[in-house]
Each structure stands twice: as structure tokens, then as C-alpha cells.
Structure 1
Amino acid sequence: MTKSHGRGRVWLSVISAAMVAESSFANAAELNILTWEGYADPSFIEKFEQSSGCKTTSTYVGSNDDFAPKLAAGGGVYDIIVPSIDTIGLMRQAGFVQPIDTSKIEGWANVYPEFSTATDVAAEGETWSVPLVWGSISLMYRPDKIEPAPDSIGVLFDPKYKGKIAMWDDKSSLYWTARLLGYDNIYDLTDEQLETVKQKLIEQKPLIRKYWATAGELTELYANQEIWVSNTWTGLQSKEVNALDKGFQVVEFTPKEKAEGWMDSMQLVKGTPNEECAYKFFSFMLNADGQCGIVGSTGYFPVNPDAVSACLTGAEAEAKKVNNIEFVKSLVMWQMPARLDKYLETWNAVKAAP
């Protein structure tokens, strides 16, 4: 797909208007991180704080669409943000982040080059983010309730499971629906295609129990037996649900329409006074304690295979796709939509529909 330099222009202008001219950042040596659940678990964050002398405070997002509004309204609260690969370019275009000096990051050379040189990670002759962790988005269901075993995204649109379906409250719901409809250009849909996707999602709404926002919320929906099937962040929520031992298990599967792939990376908020701590954090997270820690807390896949050589071996390494970059190529990797503002408008129209 040819990327448009004008992508998201309307939304970017709104963001720019909301940005404050002067920012009052947190005190030096105190990193404020805007990130995802499981990415700041005490099991490894405490090691960072002890070794670096830098205190951390983490705020969690439920969607990539949360980053820009929080930064625009935050008045300089955050030092590091951790958006996905389809959002890091927007953060650069909006002027929220500054380039990364990779010479200051221990472990940078060992990151999969498919990530360290990816579009928007590297742009305009600079590096704009530090890859952290990656994975896929699959489907998850209760095999005791849904038979036969599903193999398609279509299970999320099956009237037989009305009231027992959940979908992530994220614009990626458009991608899922577009793939179900057989569209290959899911990040550059035409107006007509977007309209068809919107109508398909509006037709689905009576079947939906909840659009979930966080990993914890989806886990509770299953734990309370409110839902039987959903999309899911592969590896994380199934582990959490099954660990509750509620008398049932959930199973993940990759639909025949393929799974989406993502990579989350760390970005340095423009003007932060805490660069020294930020670079210590980048180095920590790319090495053994950080990579093993975040893989252990989330179930996701490491970006630095060398860093996990001691903590992931044999079957564990195979399950986490260590040195299996071919798996990345099998996924429909996220990209920033060519017309981001139109995609957001469409998704918001779906949610606003009765």
C-alpha cells in the first residue's frame, strides 16, 4: 500500500490545537510512563528502580487511540509512551516525541532488524522509537459453550451467540471486519468499503455484550461468565482467565482470515527533563531483566532474542517465537491507516449507533 503523507491531517490539526505551549514535567529522576497493562509489573520494574535510582509511575491505556488525547491534555505529565507500530508515526507527526539516540541504548544492536528498521520506527533519517515487545491478536472462546470449534472471524458475528460476544473497543475492529468481508487493503479502505464495514459492525451491535477496553475488563467478562467468545491480545488474557480456575477453560485460535500482528515500542516525549532515566529504562527493557520480565508478565514475544536465551529455552522459546521472524511475516501487521481521521470517524459512528 502506498502511504499518504497527508494521513490523519484533520485529526493532527485537532491535536495540535489542544497542545499546551509550555509543559510542566514531573520531577527529574521520576519517570512517568504511559503504557499497557502488564508492561510495568513490579516483578521487573522494582529491579529497574533499584539498579537505576529512577522511580517510575505508570498510567495504563486501553487503546492506541488513548495516547494522543492524553498527551494533548496532559500538560507534560509523561516522559515515555509505549504505543503500537500503527501509532508511533502519528506521535511523531503530532510533535509529541523526539528522536532516539540509539548509541545510548545497550542491546539495540540485537533487536530484530525487522522491527528496529520498520516504517515509522525509522523515519526522516532518525529513529523514533525503541521496540519493546510484539505479538498477535487472535480469537478466544470457551470450547464448552461454542461447538464445533470455530475457525473464522465470523464467530464474532454469529447470532447464535447473541449477548455472549465481546470486541475490543479499538479502531482495529474495522480491520477485523474488513478481513471478514474479504478486503485486502484493510489500512486504505475506500469510502464505499468503510461504509460497508460500518454497516456490518452496526448489524453486529445487538450481539455484543461489551466492547472491552482493558485486559482486566475482558478477563472479568469471562470470569463472570458474561461472554463466551472475543478477540484477545494473544497469550495474556487466556493465561489470566485460565489461572482463575473458574471451572472452565478458554482456548485461543488464529482465524482462517489470518491474525493481526503488532509491535509496541517506547518513545521519548518531547522536552522531557528525564532523558537520563529514560535511556536507562530503554536499556533495561531491551536486556535480560526487562525482556524476560515483560514476556513473563504478559505472555508476549521478545524483540531481543539474545536477551531471553537464559529464561526461555526449548518449548518456551518456540512458543514465544524466539528467532522465528517468519511468524511475523505470516501476520497482517498493523499499519497506520492512510486516512486515520476517517477510520476514527467510522469507528466512533459504530459506537454511537443505537
Structure 2
Amino acid sequence: MKAITRRLALSLALAGSMAVLAATAARAEDKELTIFDWAGYEDPSFHPKYAEKHGDSPSFAFFGDEDEAFEKMRSGFKADLGHPCSQSVVKWREAGLLQPLDTSKIAGWNDLNPQIVAMKNLVTSEDGTVWFMPWDWGNTEVSYNSEKVDEKDIHSLQAFADPKFKDRVSIGDNVDDAYALASLAIGLKDWSKMTDDQFKQASDFLRQVHKNVRLYWTDTTDIVQAMSGGEVDLAWAWNDAAVQSVAAGAPIKAKKDTDEGISTWVCGYVMFKDAPGSNDKAYDFLNAINDPEVAKTLVGDWGYGQANVKGMEGVDQEVLKEKGYDDVQKFVDKTLFQSPIPSDLKLRMIAEFEKIKAGY
């Protein structure tokens, strides 16, 4: 996505519950369909066939993170479709927020990446019911200012806790990404099996990182501006941070080959229970974003992958190589998948991360 478009969209992102309420009505187009989404994903280039068919884009409401969205939905907010990621789908489903998807109404369902579809308890529940359409996937990874940071100093994720980077670091104000970083740093690839001792090690690591943090970014605009403006030199950020920083002319690079690896997440769309809008339009939207042509925008402008295999096959090979998607097996070889984790562990992470950010 072009930087200015992203910046304007992300300016609608939420900083707190009042901002959520304000942003809910910020994009009211087709009122028969409301998408509860991350800010930025309302860009028409992601759903051109929907707009072509219905003459307008859906209405969008925005959230800042999935825990915030979860609480808003539980409090009675109504939308038709939502955009959670892999670590939250089970939580949303078990809370009774979702209704099953009818895959016969989703064009290209059989073209979805079989490895993603097969991820345990993500797309389907044990009885075979489908709850989630995977769509975008990518990484949280090391991004750095190549003019200020020597690459040999960041071969390990331990660099985030290195005193030499004091006041030069940023990580997301996002418990999932934070504990993905910490899990990798202590050598844990499957965080769903995190022991009490490993939880303590991961939390202690984040406390060390906190000493170096200049800011906790809340959206891509934050971190792009901080890195492009020279405020931050080392970040744990999503793929699009480096892509957009480079587009803005900043010497920012992404590093996927650290000793410990990277974190990979899969996001997609769910249909809410008691969705108030048009069921037919909801499926039209799912079909529009699953169109293989959309992959060219998702990969080229954001640096993310599309779950539709045909879509990825249609992206220019040089673009795939530039964004790191030309060898998927190598891409996932050293990665922590942000898979669903036990709810009690997630609650512990949330509580502990708040203490860490407060300096405790």
C-alpha cells in the first residue's frame, strides 16, 4: 500500500477504548456489511471485485489489537466479519462469538495453502466445522537502520537486550509479538507448551528489553515514522514496516536469518454470530479478498503472503524473492508459529506484559 494511503488509514487506528468508539463509524460505505478489522485493510485494492459488484466498499470498524476487539465484541458490538490472527481464533470461537463458514460459497477455497489449512485447531474444530478463512500471513522480524546498526551485532535476538542499544529499540505494544520474541530468544519454538520456568525466562528477557525500549509501537505508522525519522534503530516489527520505510527513502532493512529465527502469524476472516448485515455480501467480500490477483498487492505493497496458493504463484518471481517468499520451506524452517495457546497462559502473558511495560 502506498505510504500516504496507509498513513491516512492508520491514523484511524485505536489508542484506547474511546478511540475504538470514534473509529467504529469512521468508514461507513455499504451499510449492509460491516467488517471489524485492523486499520489499513479497508483499502479498496484488497477487495476490488466487491466494489465492482456492489458499487462501494463495505463499512469498516477498526481495532488496535485482538484482545481489544474480543472485549468489544463481548460487550455487544455488532459486525459481520472480523479479522483475527492464528493465536486468537480459538479464543473467539470458544467464547461463542463466531458462526461456521460455508466453504461451498467461498471461491478458491480449495486453493488455500494446505499447510495453513491443516494447522491444528485453526481453520477447523475437531468435528470438522470450518470457522476461519486464512488470508494474509507474514512475520514479526528484526528491522534495523543499516546506516547505524552493524548487521554482525544483530545476528541474535539477544541484541534487543544488549545495553549498546539502550533507547534505540522498539517492539510492538502487542503481547503476542512480545512473547513470540521472548520465546524465540530463550530457544522455544512451540509456545503452546511453555512451562512455568520458560514463562519466567521469557518475561525476564522482556524486562531486559524494556530497559532499551524507546517506544512501544501500536501500528505500522508509529514504527515507520520512528525508524525513518532516526528515533529508533532496531525494531521487532511486521513485514510492512521495512517495506514502507524503504518506500519512504529510509535505509531500513529486515533480517530474517537471526540465530533463533522469526515469528510467523496467519490472519484471516471469521463470520460473527448474529451478524446483522447481508450474508450474501459477506461471502462476496470473502471471495473478493481471496481472489488470486489480490496477492500482487498484498505481497508487493505490504510484504505479506496470501494464503491462496494460486495467488502466490501469480506474483512475479523477483518480487517474491525480494520479499522472502520464493522459498517457503526455508522461510518457515526457523520460525515460531503464533498458534493458539491455552487461555490461562494468554491471560498470564497479558498481565505480565503490562507489568513489564510499567517497569515492574
TM-score of the two chains, using structure 2 as the length reference? 0.82
Gaps in structure 1 of 5+ consecutive residues: 1-25
Show the counterpart of 1:219: 224
- The alignment status of 1:192 with 2:194, answered yes or no, reads no
Say whether the 8 Å CA contact 1:61–1:67 is kept in structure 2: yes
Say whether the 8 Å CA contact 1:165–1:210 is kept in structure 2: yes
Show the counterpart of 2:259: 256
**Equivalent residue for 1:151, pick from 151, 155, 164:** 155
1:163 and 1:34 map into 2 onto residues whose CA distance is 35
**Equivalent residue for 1:127, pick from 126, 130, 142:** 130
- Of 341-350 and 163-172, deviating more is 341-350
Following superposition, the deviation at residue 317 of structure 1 comes to 3.6
1:129 and 1:71 map into 2 onto residues whose CA distance is 17
Following superposition, the deviation at residue 270 of structure 1 comes to 0.8
Change (3 A) 1:122 1:322: farther
The alignment partner of 2:340 has SS state of coil
Change (3 A) 1:244 1:313: closer
The alignment partner of 1:263 has SS state of strand
Say whether the 8 Å CA contact 2:243–2:301 is kept in structure 1: no
The alignment partner of 2:260 has SS state of coil
Following superposition, the deviation at residue 240 of structure 1 comes to 1.0
Show the counterpart of 2:82: 81
**Equivalent residue for 2:338, pick from 334, 339, 354:** 334
2:292 and 2:197 map into 1 onto residues whose CA distance is 48
Q: Deviations over 1:166-215 (max 9, x none)?
A: 01111231221132123455333222332232233223323110111101
The alignment-based identity, stated in percent, is 22
Gaps in structure 2 of 5+ consecutive residues: 1-27
Show the counterpart of 2:302: 298
Following superposition, the deviation at residue 271 of structure 1 comes to 1.0
Q: Deviations over 1:275-306 (max 9, x none)?
A: 11110111111113433333344221121121
Say whether the 8 Å CA contact 2:300–2:319 is kept in structure 1: no
The alignment partner of 1:280 has SS state of helix
**Equivalent residue for 1:181, pick from 181, 186, 199:** 186
Following superposition, the deviation at residue 56 of structure 1 comes to 1.3
1:28 and 1:74 map into 2 onto residues whose CA distance is 21
Change (3 A) 1:27 1:251: closer
Change (3 A) 1:166 1:74: farther
The Cα RMSD (Å) is 2.4
Following superposition, the deviation at residue 257 of structure 1 comes to 0.3
The alignment partner of 1:336 has SS state of coil
1:164 and 1:301 map into 2 onto residues whose CA distance is 29
The alignment partner of 1:276 has SS state of helix
The alignment partner of 1:122 has SS state of coil
TM-score of the two chains, using structure 1 as the length reference? 0.83
Show the counterpart of 2:50: 48
Greater relative contact order: 1 or 2 (C-alpha under 8 angstroms, separation 6 or more)?
A: 1
